[in-house]
Copies of this chain bind each other. A is one copy, B any other.
Amino acid sequence: MAQIYDKVALIGLGLIASSMFWAMKRAGVAGHVSGYARSQSTRDTARRIGLCDTVCDSAAEAVKDADLVVLAVPVGAMGAVAAEIGPHLKRGATVTDVGSVKRQVIEAVGPHLPEGVHFVPGHPLAGTEHSGPESGFATLFDNRWCLLVPAEGSDPEAVDRLTRYWRALGSNVDIMDADHHDLVLAVTSHAPHLIAYTMVGVADHLRRVTDSEVIKFSAAGFRDFTRIAASDPTMWRDVFLNNKDATLDILGRFTEELFVLQRAIRMGDGDMLHDYFTRTRAIRRGIIDAGQDTAAPDFGRTKVEK
């Protein structure tokens, strides 16, 4: 595949950035990839495993002469990183990010970027429950969606180039408005994560049901929640604090709906429950048809050996 950017800088070297690096190498879309992580131990690991062509000891050094700068730090750290790199950005460079929240990131990052730098916020909808520089892999973005959220008046050429870049990394790309993005993600990701964290927390608190029983007998449904609730704590703290309104809105609707179902259980309204569960089953079919999951039973989990 043809090179799209001469130099790409990855700021933050966790799951997403490390996967981007391996996917860039697979696609051959970047001439040189520099990387920076705040922690010395992450930088050491990156050097040891060959993550990035150059690992730099400062963000300023990493972004020097870069044509594309990717902010891949927790949402709450985006503003500070932008302030740090702003003065060192090349004129004509594109800055993007991979944050799960867009409105707050735009407000935090935008003011720090100089004239002549193109800011095209983005969000690859991909991830696993693992984190850190060693968790990345080249196929993470294959057939997943990457949402780009350009501001009004963004340079169309910069948006188009970034679109081609994400497609080369394996993604489908869609363009979306920031507020709509934050609402859609509150439904498809943020509320489900908080709910999973909550259910796992409840199980943890229950002393009548010992920990070992909850773990031993988790295959009956609970373990799928624990995978979601094993996601990176810092990243998710920042997501909730920075997409507060949409998340609280969806959680409010969720609680309302839960109370309706709880009442149906209490009153013994079997028809209502059956109708409800029949409707939700159809949604699953849509996700399989859209190619966003496997129809293999149990996600096609490979057999777990003890």
Contact = CB atoms under 8 A, between A and B. Distances in A.
Given A125-B219, A274-B237, A254 B199 contact: yes
A128 B220 contact: no
A198 B143 contact: no
A281 B213 contact: no
A216 B277 contact: no
Contacts of A194: 258, 261-262, 265
Contact of A187 (B187, B214, B238): B214
B293 A185 contact: no
Interface in A94-141: 100, 125-130, 135, 137, 139
A38 interface: no
A246 to B, nearest CB: 10
Interface residues of A, number: 115
Given A185-B217, A205-B253, A236 B277 contact: yes
Contacts of A286: 211, 215
A218 B265 contact: no
A283 B204 contact: yes
Interface of A: 76, 100, 125-130, 135, 137, 139, 142-145, 147, 174, 183-185, 187-206, 208-209, 211, 213-231, 233-234, 236-238, 240-241, 244, 247-248, 250-251, 253-255, 257-259, 261-262, 265-266, 268, 270, 273-274, 276-281, 283-287, 290-294, 296-306
